[in-house]
Structure 1
């Protein structure tokens, strides 16, 4: 592998790591302690954890991702698959560290603030990952597949996939929190598309500047 490729790979995985940390932080300090199942495998993991508390949220996410990895390799490709495997393992690890070492807690018990702050942080993390052809695993993989084989934007794909999780969250944690979870999913879907557009625009501007310099 050439030196340039090694540097590029390290840079890409560093960016994925940043996205993972943001997603984990949003879940562990805003969503999970307030029982907001904001879609995705993480939201589904919160529901399962409520019924099977012996399994941590991070562990459930890890087990769920094992099934989805095969699908991502077959339908999307190796580059996305490897980055997603790394991101999903990292997400489970970081979430468990936040939960068991730092004893994560609710930074706010106001559900509205929890939804807004948590979604802003999580959407930023997801957008960072998606922008370099990766994901944090889980239902993000299904959203990526839907995006690849249709004309639906990735954020809207996330919204469609996450509706099932929101319904489960509403049944498990109550209608009020179900409504807040729905709000989180809608905001997340729209915000991810917007952030990806901004990131890609910045990347294109940098490429144009480099071409002009050369």
Structure 2
């Protein structure tokens, strides 16, 4: 019994629920937009759709048959927690596909507007995969192949995924015409952008580098008005050779205007550099408000 608990150590119910919801979104998108309108897809999902178009094999079945041997081959590369989440994701995806195969929510007559089909297919599949990835799982397939390729050939994960998607879509030309293949590329592009937004966008922020003679005053006002901390670094100007304080501060997007207002109010001549931050964690971002204890230094 103790060993059984050890196997599932680190597995969280919240993560499982997110994966299950993600597979429902993904399955809905594949069945109601890709399959109903004759679109292909990248990755192993694209192979399952191709099998359906050519041999009438249900995607829910071919998804399981294709992934089982890959889990056997690549289980050591995933790690225990990710392996369990991925197995859950793969089984749940097949169940979601089967659910929507048997009980379609709606028939959407969108064949005359394939741009709309392509976009919504990408939104649903991207949102589903993004939630699955964010929870620490995968849907198996190309992700495992990418890790194997990275280990034994040194090919990057992103390069392999792009190459594999391009290969699957190219093979899908057996069934698709060129126009449908181009719509499929639109779907794959939207999918990738939505995945990035789900994984990174929710935690996106702005980092600022502020060089000013009044760094301490700016820092105090940022703490007072925004409850945001900062780090003051010491640098030296290459032209003047003077030592200067450099204030580094990370804020949410919606706080950037307030930060710039504070800077302009205290030192309108300050040099300010602003950059995108794809992910941020820690006090003020991933802690609850009640856990924040930012106060000015005494």
Is TM (by shorter chain) over 0.5?
yes
How big is the alpha-carbon RMSD for the aligned residues of Structure 1 and Structure 2?
A: 2.9
Task: State the match for 2:40 in structure 1.
Answer: 37
Matched, 1:118 2:121: yes
For normalisation by structure 2, the TM-score amounts to: 0.61
Contact 2:32–2:104 (CA<8 Å) still a contact in 1? no
Contact 1:98 1:104 in 2 (8 A): no
145-154 or 171-180, which moves further after superposition? 145-154
Partner of 1:212: 292
Give the number of the structure whose residues are more often helix, by fraction.
1
Which of the residues 175, 179, 184 maps onto 1:176?
179
Higher Rg of the two aligned structures = 2
State the distance in 2 between where 1:168 and 1:18 align: 30
**How far is the alpha carbon of 1:11 from its aligned partner?**
0.8
Q: Point out the structure with the larger strand share.
A: 2
Match of 1:69 in 2: 71
C-alpha distance after superposition, 1:29-85 (max 9, x if no partner): 1011112112121111111112211x2111011101112212441212111111111
Match of 2:94 among 87, 92, 95: 92
Q: What does the per-residue CA deviation read over 1:180-204, in whole Å, with 9 as the maximum and x for residues that have no partner? A: 1122222322332232112455883
Equivalent positions of 1:23-172 (< 5 A) are 23-53=26-56, 55-102=57-104, 105-106=107-108, 108-109=110-111, 110-143=113-146, 158-172=161-175
**Distance in 2 separating the partners of 1:200 and 1:148:** 30
Aligned pair in 2 of structure 1 residues 171, 15: CA closer, same or farther (>3 Å)? Answer: same
Gaps of 5+ in 2: 205-278, 294-298
Are residues 179 and 100 of structure 1, via their aligned partners in 2, closer, same or farther at CA, if it must alter by over 3 Å?
Answer: same
Relative contact order (alpha carbons < 8 A, sep ≥ 6): 1 or 2 greater?
1
Q: For the Cα contact (< 8 Å) 1:39–1:166, is it kept in 2? A: yes
SS of equivalent residue, structure 2 residue 12: helix
Q: Distance in 2 between matches of 1:49 and 1:88?
A: 18
Structure 1 contact 159–186 (Cα < 8 Å) conserved: no
Question: Is the 2:146–2:157 Cα contact (8 Å) retained in structure 1?
Answer: no
